[in-house]
């Protein structure tokens, strides 16, 4: 069995319903190592799970209640509590499995965002997805096979590949592949490779290489985050990481559009504004196209720092380059009351209702509304480079 074939959809259930403490243990695998982390509910509190501890309990962090916690360590600097709890007290798991391999070979999947549908591996444009005109959540998938795609619904995009839209319900787990390499003595991650060119970014913030015109800084003038598109032959490949996690709720309470045949989040560029005040649109007709760090990206995107710990990929284009702008909203019922969905956190499996975070499993299926909009109705984004 090759490293790339190590996991199959049969393992997906353990990310939301692990069979026991053994499923959370760090372990060696052929050519690498697996770690498990994520989130779960402990005595009605959503907590971060950091794997199995050597005493046979689960390491957790969060606003832990006073009872049932072993080795409690309060940390006022980060407003939380570390501790260990019995596995049986945890429920509503939402775990991520990270497999790190020491070498790249011919069996290693290319960097990108992947899923399994009906036994076939496909690429995903992103995990946010879109919603059809009749209110059905969808994902846009990418044909990865050689030659013409099989089945109906495929259409060429603006990048020389074929994509189609599928019901979001067909995908339960997503897989992100990133390669690690050395470039100009810097350790970098490879987000994508296409036509012999690689999109790279550093594994941690730091000053970019000197005298490297390929490097593009992301964020404000104080940011040391950067990305670049470089020839693949300039990279010394080291290893790769496979990250597997449940697919969350996706796009709600935002706007999407189509750029070169692919649907993604879109916003207006913000003009100068005073800190603390709501941003206002900048003059002109520019649109920001946004993707999360683990989404499938093409080489026009730049990695931008949103905060000390969060980044996303962005490119600014003219509104004439985008089509099918649509605003998506949703409602759901929780504890007998119907609320507009203000947002979701797909990392923790929570939804924001009335400014509160609620476990998404406690809500009814979302009811979506979709309407076409013009550029001036897009949200205003204050991060621009």
pLDDT in tens, 203-259: 876 678 888 899 998 865 455 678 999 999 999 999 999 999 999 999 888 999 999
Q: Identify whether 83 is part of a domain.
A: yes
> Percent of the chain beyond pLDDT 70?
94
How far is it, in rounded angstroms, from Cα 160 to Cα 315? Answer: 19
Please report whether residue 344 resides in a domain. no
Listed in sequence order, the residues at least 6 apart from 78 whose beta carbon sits closer than 8 Å to its beta carbon are none
Q: Considering Cα of 244, then 245, then 250, then 255, what sign does the dihedral take?
A: negative
Predicted confidence at residue 358, as pLDDT, reads 94
Residue 110 counted as domain residue? no
User: Is residue 139 a contact partner of residue 166, using CB atoms and an 8 Å limit?
Assistant: yes
Q: Tell me, what DSSP letter sits at residue 234?
A: G
Q: Give domain status of residue 19, yes or no.
A: yes
Please report which confidence band the pLDDT of residue 344 belongs to, taking 50, 70 and 90 as the band edges: very high
The reply to whether 342 falls in a domain is no
Q: How many domains is the chain partitioned into structurally?
A: 1
For residue 357, being part of any structural domain is answered with no
Q: Is residue 318 part of a domain?
A: no
Within a domain: residue 270?
A: no
Number of H helices, E strands in the chain: 0, 30
Instruction: Give the tens place of pLDDT for each residue, 360-381.
Output: 999 999 999 999 999 999 999 8
Domain membership of residue 52 as a residue range:
3-98
Q: Is the pLDDT of residue 169 over 90?
A: yes
Neighbour count for residue 50 (Cβ, 10 Å): 17
pLDDT tens-digit series, residues 115-153: 999 889 999 999 999 999 999 999 999 999 888 898 999
Q: Percentage of the chain surpassing pLDDT 90?
A: 75
Rounded mean pLDDT of 274-285? Answer: 84
Q: Give the span between the Cα atoms of 371 and 328, in whole angstroms.
A: 7
């Amino acid at each position: 069995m090759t490293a790339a074939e190590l996991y199959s959809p049969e393992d997906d259930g353990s990310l939301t319903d692990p069979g026991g403490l053994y499923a959370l243990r760090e372990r060696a695998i052929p050519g690498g190592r697996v770690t498990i982390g994520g989130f779960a509910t402990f005595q009605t509190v959503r907590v971060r799970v950091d794997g199995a501890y050597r005493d046979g309990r689960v390491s957790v962090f969060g606003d832990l209640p006073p009872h049932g916690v072993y080795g409690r360590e309060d940390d006022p600097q980060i407003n939380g509590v570390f501790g260990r709890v019995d596995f049986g007290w945890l429920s509503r798991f939402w775990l991520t499995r990270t497999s790190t391999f020491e070498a790249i070979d011919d069996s290693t999947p290319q960097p990108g965002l992947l899923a399994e549908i009906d036994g076939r591996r496909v690429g995903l444009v992103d995990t946010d997805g879109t919603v059809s005109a009749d209110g059905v959540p969808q994902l846009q998938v990418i044909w990865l096979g050689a030659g013409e795609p099989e089945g109906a619904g495929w259409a060429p995009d603006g990048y020389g590949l074929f994509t189609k839209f599928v019901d979001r319900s067909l995908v339960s787990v997503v897989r992100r592949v990133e390669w690690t390499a050395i470039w100009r003595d810097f350790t970098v991650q490879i987000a994508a490779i296409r036509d012999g060119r690689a999109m790279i970014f550093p594994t941690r913030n730091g000053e970019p290489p000197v005298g490297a015109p390929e490097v593009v800084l992301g964020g404000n003038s104080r940011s040391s985050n950067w990305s670049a598109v470089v020839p693949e032959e300039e990279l010394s490949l080291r290893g790769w990481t496979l990250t597997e996690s449940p697919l969350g709720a996706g796009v709600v309470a935002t706007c999407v559009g189509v750029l070169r045949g692919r649907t993604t989040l879109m916003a207006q560029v913000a003009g100068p504004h005073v800190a603390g005040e709501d941003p206002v649109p900048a003059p002109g007709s520019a649109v920001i196209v946004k993707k999360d760090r683990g989404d499938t990206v093409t080489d026009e995107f730049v990695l931008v720092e949103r905060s000390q710990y969060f980044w996303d990929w962005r490119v600014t284009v003219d509104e004439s380059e985008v089509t099918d702008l649509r605003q998506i909203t949703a409602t759901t019922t929780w504890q007998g009351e119907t609320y507009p969905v203000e947002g979701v956190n797909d990392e923790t499996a929570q939804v924001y209702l009335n400014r509160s975070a609620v476990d998404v499993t406690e809500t009814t299926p979302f009811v979506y509304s979709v309407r076409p909009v013009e550029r001036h109705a897009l949200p205003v984004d204050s991060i621009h480079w």
